C-alpha cells in the first residue's frame, strides 16, 4: 500500500510550534516522555495478555531499548508493548485527544516564556516532545496480536503534515526513531543517555536497556583487544517505596537514601508508608543524620521527589512538605495525579493537600516516637534540626502545640549541653508559679550572667534559656503551653506569689520617697521606677514593657542596622541591696544632698550596661565614677 500524506489537526501544528519554540530549555524531558509511553504500552499488553494469550506472541521479556546510531544520527526508543494499528496511529499521533484543547491553545498563545512552559506542563506534550530534539520522527509500530505485514510506519518533520503507510515489522511493539537535530547529537552519547535514564526513569519497572560495546575479558578477567556487544540494563528498576516494608532490609533503605541524597552517612530515621483507599500513594522519607550543608542557602531545594505511576515528575516537590520540615528527603508516589503536572496546579491540588497532610503528620509522629523511644537520637535530632522545626510554631498554627512538644531547650536547671522539653519544665513548675519564664540571650553564659535571673534563681524557679535567632518570634507565636503563658524575664513586672506581693508593699512604704526622687531625676530617660523581684546581687536593672521588643532583640537589631523603636524602659531597683539602704538613709537625713542626683544618674548608666547597652554619655559616666572614687578614697 502506498504511503499517504495527511495534515495534522490545526491544534497539533500549533502545539508542536509551541513545544519546539518554548520548551527548548527543558529538552531533556523528551526521553522521559518516550520511555514513559513505552512503559505504559508494555503495561497494557501485559494486562491484555492475561485474558488473551495471543497478545503475548513474541514473548513476555518486557523491555525498552535505546539504540543510538551515530552514523545515521538517530536515537531509537523501542518497546515490545501493545503497539498501534493504522487507525490508532492516525488518531493518536495526528490529533490531541484532550478535551478543552482549543481553549488551552488560545491561552498558550497568549502566554509567553516561562508561563507557557508551566501551562504546557499541565496539559502534557508527551509524544510531541520528541520534536524538541528531532527534526524528523519516524514511528514503526505493530499491534499485539497482528501479523508481520500489518505494521504501520508514521513519519513527520513537524511541518504541518505526516505520512503514514503499511510496513513490515518482525515483532510486536513500537520503535520511535528520532532523527536528531545537529545541535542535539549529544543524545547519542552513552553517558548522556545513562544520565538521563538514571535521573528520570531509574525506577521504571521495566528494564531500559542499551547495547554497550566492551572489551572482551580473558580467562583471568583481564580486558583483551577483542570487542563484544552486550545488552545492559541501565535503570535500577527498584521502586523500593512500592515494596512491602517487611521485605526491605535496613541496608536497602540506607542505600536508597544515599543514592538519592549523595550523603555518605546513613539516615537518622526512615519513614515508609502507604495509603490506600480513595486516594493511593506511597511515601519513603528520611530524616538525615546531619543537617544538609546547603540547607542555609537560598538555592536549597526542599521537598521529596514526586513520582506519578512510576515516572519521576519532579526532583523536589516542595508542595509536599511544610518549610519547617525542609530537611526531610525521600520520594512520594501518587496514583491519582496526572503525569504532566505543573507547579501551578500543584499549589491548589486536592491530592497534593491530602498527601502533604499525611506526610507532615508521619514525620512529626516519627520525631515524637524518637523522643519517646530513642531519646539519644532525639537529642541529636534537636541539635541538628530543632532550629528549623521551631519555625513551625510560627507558620503552622494548627500544629503548633504538637511541634512545641517536640522541642528541646536549655534552662537554668539543665547542665551545659543538656536539654529539657517544655513538658518536663511544666512538671517542675512551682505550685505558685503562673508563667513559664524564659530569657533570650546570645549564649548560655550571657544568660547566666544576666541580672534578670537573680531573683528567680534565688527562689529556685527554672528559666528557659533561648539562644536561637528566631526564639523571640516563635515563642510569641506559641504564646502558651498547657495553659501557662510564656514570660520573658526581661519584660514587664514579675511578682512571685502572694508573699512576694506583701513584701513589696512593705518595702514600698520604706523606700517610697527615694523612689519618687529617682523617678523625677530620670523622668526623661525611663518610663517608671519600681521595686524589683528579679534582683538579688545587682542593685538595678532596666525592664522592657510587656509589648516592647525584648532588650536582647533590640541589641540584635541595632547590630544589624535594622530600624526599630526603642521602648522606654522601667528601672527596677533592688530594695535588699546595701546601696539602697545607704541611699535611703542619706535621703532621709538630707533630701537635698547633691550626691543623690549623681547617684541616680550612675544607677541608670549601670543598668544600661547590665542590659548590654552603653551609657548614652560615656564621658559624663566616667567623670561621675571618678568623682565617686575620689570621694571614697579621701574618706
Ligand atoms: P499520553 O501518553 O499522555 O496519552 P502522548 O502524546 O505521549 O500522550 O501519546 C499519545 C498516545 O499515543 C498514547 O496515549 C498512546 O495511545 C499512543 N502511544 C504513544 N507512544 C506509544 C507506544 N510506545 N506504544 C503504543 N502506543 C503509544
Output 223 or 211, whichever has higher pLDDT.
Answer: 211
CB 60 within 8 A of CB 46: yes
Residue-level pLDDT at 71:
96
Nearest to 195, CA basis, from 224, 235, 238, 166:
235
Show the domains of the chain with their CATH numbers. Answer: 4-233 (3.30.565.10), 240-377 (3.30.230.80), 395-488 (3.40.50.11260), 499-634 (1.20.120.790)
The residue with cell 527554672 is 462
Q: What mean pLDDT do residues 114-138 have?
A: 75
SS (H, E, C) 404-424: HCCCEEEECCCCCCCCEEHHH
Residue-level pLDDT at 199:
80
Please tell me the least confidently modeled range out of 28-32, 232-236, 372-376.
28-32
Quick: pLDDT tens for 442-452.
899 989 988 88
Highest mean pLDDT among 268-282, 497-511, 539-553: 268-282
Quick: pLDDT tens for 213-252.
888 888 888 888 888 899 999 998 878 899 899 989 998 8
Give the C-alpha distances (Å, rounded to integers) separating 320 from 64, 263, 325, 326.
Answer: 31, 22, 10, 10
Please say if the pLDDT value at position 632 is more than 70. Answer: yes
- The residue whose CA has the least distance to atom 17 of ligand 1 is 92
Please say if the pLDDT value at position 340 is more than 70. Answer: no
Residue-level pLDDT at 594:
86
Please say if the pLDDT value at position 300 is more than 80. Answer: yes
What does DSSP say about strands 208-217 and 64-69: parallel, antiparallel, or unpaired? parallel
H or E, element range at 488: strand 484-488
- The residue whose CA has the least distance to atom 20 of ligand 1 is 37
User: Where does the pLDDT of residue 125 fall: very low under 50, low under 70, confident under 90, or very high at 90 and above?
Assistant: low
Supply 37's cell numbers: 509511553
- The residue whose CA has the least distance to atom 4 of ligand 1 is 126
Report CA(30)–ligand 1 centroid distance (Å).
Answer: 13
Burial 608-628 (b: 16+ CB within 10 A, else e): bebbebebeeeeebeebeeee
Quick: pLDDT tens for 40-60.
899 889 878 877 888 888 888
**Dist CA 5 CA 154 (whole Å):** 10
**Dist CA 126 CA 344 (whole Å):** 19
**Dist CA 322 CA 470 (whole Å):** 17
Residues with CB under 6 A from ligand 1: 33, 37-38, 41, 79, 81-84, 92, 124, 126-127, 174
- The residue whose CA has the least distance to atom 7 of ligand 1 is 126
- The residue whose CA has the least distance to atom 21 of ligand 1 is 37
- The residue whose CA has the least distance to atom 3 of ligand 1 is 126
Residue to substitute in 33, 92, 152 for testing ligand 1 pocket (most ligand atoms within 8 angstroms of CB): 92
Output 569 or 181, whichever has higher pLDDT.
Answer: 181
Task: Specify the ligand 1 atom closest to the Cα of 33.
Answer: 7
Provide φ and ψ at 63, rounded to 5°.
Answer: -165, 145
CB 169 within 8 A of CB 140: yes
**Dist CA 343 CA 362 (whole Å):** 24
Report CA(349)–ligand 1 centroid distance (Å).
Answer: 25
Please say if the pLDDT value at position 523 is more than 50. Answer: yes
Give percent of the chain with pLDDT exceeding 90. 49
Q: What mean pLDDT do residues 498-526 have?
A: 88
User: Where does the pLDDT of residue 554 fall: very low under 50, low under 70, confident under 90, or very high at 90 and above?
Assistant: confident
Residue-level pLDDT at 120:
59
User: Where does the pLDDT of residue 552 fall: very low under 50, low under 70, confident under 90, or very high at 90 and above?
Assistant: confident
Report CA(88)–ligand 1 centroid distance (Å).
Answer: 10
Quick: pLDDT tens for 350-371.
899 999 999 999 999 999 999 9
Task: Specify the ligand 1 atom closest to the Cα of 81.
Answer: 24
Supply 604's cell numbers: 541608670
pTM: predicted TM-score of the whole model, two decimal places: 0.67
Report CA(33)–ligand 1 centroid distance (Å).
Answer: 9
Provide φ and ψ at 489, rounded to 5°.
Answer: -70, -10
H or E, element range at 559: helix 551-559
Report CA(37)–ligand 1 centroid distance (Å).
Answer: 5
Residue to substitute in 8, 45, 126, 204 for testing ligand 1 pocket (most ligand atoms within 8 angstroms of CB): 126
Residue-level pLDDT at 128:
85
H or E, element range at 512: helix 497-521
Quick: pLDDT tens for 150-182.
899 999 998 889 999 999 999 999 999 999 999
Report CA(39)–ligand 1 centroid distance (Å).
Answer: 10
Q: What is the dihedral of CA 294, 300, 306, 311, to 10 degrees?
A: -80
Quick: pLDDT tens for 414-442.
998 899 999 999 999 998 888 999 999 98
- The residue whose CA has the least distance to atom 19 of ligand 1 is 37
Residue-level pLDDT at 113:
59
Nearest to 536, CA basis, from 450, 596, 606, 609:
450
Give percent of the chain with pLDDT exceeding 70. 93
User: Where does the pLDDT of residue 122 fall: very low under 50, low under 70, confident under 90, or very high at 90 and above?
Assistant: very low
Highest mean pLDDT among 133-142, 197-206, 229-238: 133-142
Amino acid at each position: 500500500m502506498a504511503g499517504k500524506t495527511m495534515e495534522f489537526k490545526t491544534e497539533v501544528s500549533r502545539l508542536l510550534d509551541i513545544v519546539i519554540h518554548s520548551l527548548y530549555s527543558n529538552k531533556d524531558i523528551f526521553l522521559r516522555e518516550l520511555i514513559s509511553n513505552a512503559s505504559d504500552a508494555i503495561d497494557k499488553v501485559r494486562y491484555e495478555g492475561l485474558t488473551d494469550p495471543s497478545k503475548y506472541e513474541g514473548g513476555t521479556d518486557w523491555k525498552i531499548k535505546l539504540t543510538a546510531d551515530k552514523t545515521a544520527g538517530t536515537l531509537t526508543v523501542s518497546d515490545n508493548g501493545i503497539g498501534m494499528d493504522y487507525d490508532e496511529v492516525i488518531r493518536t499521533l495526528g490529533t490531541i485527544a484532550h478535551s478543552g484543547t482549543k481553549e488551552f491553545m488560545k491561552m498558550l498563545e497568549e502566554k509567553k516564556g516561562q508561563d507557557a512552559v508551566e501551562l504546557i506542563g499541565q496539559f502534557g506534550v508527551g509524544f510531541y516532545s520528541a520534536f524538541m530534539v528531532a527534526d524528523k520522527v519516524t514511528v514503526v509500530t505493530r499491534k499485539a496480536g497482528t501479523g508481520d505485514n500489518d505494521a504501520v510506519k508514521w513519519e513527520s518533520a513537524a511541518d504541518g503534515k505526516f505520512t503514514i503507510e503499511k510496513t513490515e515489522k518482525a515483532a510486536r511493539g513500537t520503535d520511535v526513531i528520532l532523527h536528531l537535530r545537529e545541535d542535539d547529537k549529544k543524545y547519542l552519547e552513552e553517558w548522556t543517555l545513562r544520565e538521563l535514564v538514571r535521573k528520570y526513569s531509574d525506577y521504571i519497572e521495566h528494564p531500559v536497556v542499551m547495547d554497550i560495546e566492551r572489551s572482551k575479558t580473558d580467562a583471568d578477567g583481564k580486558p583483551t583487544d577483542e570487542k563484544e556487544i552486550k545488552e545492559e540494563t541501565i535503570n535500577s528498576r527498584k521502586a523500593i517505596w512500592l515494596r512491602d516494608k517487611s521485605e526491605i532490609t535496613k541496608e536497602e533503605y540506607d542505600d536508597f537514601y544515599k543514592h538519592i541524597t549523595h550523603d555518605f552517612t546513613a539516615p537518622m530515621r526512615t519513614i515508609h508508608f502507604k495509603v490506600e483507599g480513595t486516594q493511593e500513594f506511597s511515601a519513603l522519607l528520611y530524616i538525615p543524620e546531619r543537617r544538609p550543608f546547603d540547607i542555609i542557602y537560598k538555592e536549597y531545594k526542599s521537598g521529596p521527589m514526586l513520582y506519578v505511576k512510576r515516572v519521576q515528575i519532579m526532583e523536589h516537590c516542595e508542595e509536599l512538605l511544610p518549610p519547617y520540615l525542609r530537611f526531610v528527603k525521600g520520594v512520594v508516589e501518587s496514583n491519582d495525579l496526572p503525569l504532566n503536572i505543573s507547579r501551578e496546579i500543584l499549589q491548589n491540588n486536592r491530592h497534593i493537600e491530602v498527601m502533604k497532610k499525611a506526610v507532615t503528620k508521619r514525620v512529626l509522629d516519627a520525631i515524637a516516637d524518637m523522643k519517646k523511644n530513642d531519646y539519644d537520637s532525639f537529642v541529636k535530632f534537636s541539635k541538628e534540626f530543632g532550629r528549623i522545626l521551631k519555625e513551625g510554631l510560627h507558620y503552622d498554627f494548627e500544629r503548633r502545640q504538637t511541634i512545641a512538644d517536640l522541642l528541646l531547650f536549655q534552662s537554668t536547671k539543665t547542665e551545659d549541653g543538656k536539654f529539657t522539653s517544655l513538658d518536663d519544665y511544666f512538671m517542675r513548675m512551682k505550685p505558685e508559679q503562673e508563667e513559664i519564664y524564659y530569657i533570650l540571650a546570645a549564649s548560655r553564659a550571657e544568660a547566666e550572667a544576666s541580672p534578670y535571673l537573680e531573683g528567680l534563681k534565688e527562689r529556685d524557679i527554672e528559666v528557659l534559656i533561648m539562644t536561637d535567632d528566631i526564639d523571640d518570634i516563635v515563642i510569641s507565636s506559641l504564646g502558651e503551653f498547657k495553659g501557662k503563658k510564656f514570660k520573658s524575664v526581661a519584660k514587664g513586672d514579675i511578682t512571685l506569689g502572694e508573699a512576694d506581693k506583701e513584701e513589696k508593699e512593705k518595702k514600698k512604704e520604706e523606700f517610697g520617697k527615694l523612689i519618687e526622687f529617682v523617678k523625677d531625676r530620670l523622668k526623661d530617660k525611663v518610663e517608671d521606677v519600681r521595686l524589683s523581684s528579679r534582683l538579688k546581687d545587682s542593685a538595678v536593672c532596666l525592664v522592657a514593657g510587656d509589648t516592647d521588643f525584648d532588650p536582647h532583640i533590640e541589641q540584635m537589631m541595632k547590630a544589624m542596622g535594622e530600624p526599630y523603636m526603642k521602648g522606654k524602659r522601667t528601672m527596677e531597683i533592688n530594695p535588699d541591696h546595701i546601696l539602697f539602704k545607704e541611699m535611703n538613709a542619706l535621703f532621709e537625713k538630707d533630701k537635698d544632698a547633691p550626691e543623690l542626683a549623681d547617684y541616680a544618674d550612675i544607677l541608670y548608666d549601670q543598668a544600661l550596661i547590665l542590659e548590654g547597652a552603653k551609657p548614652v554619655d560615656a564621658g559624663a559616666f566616667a567623670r561621675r565614677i571618678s568623682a565617686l572614687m575620689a570621694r571614697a578614697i579621701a574618706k
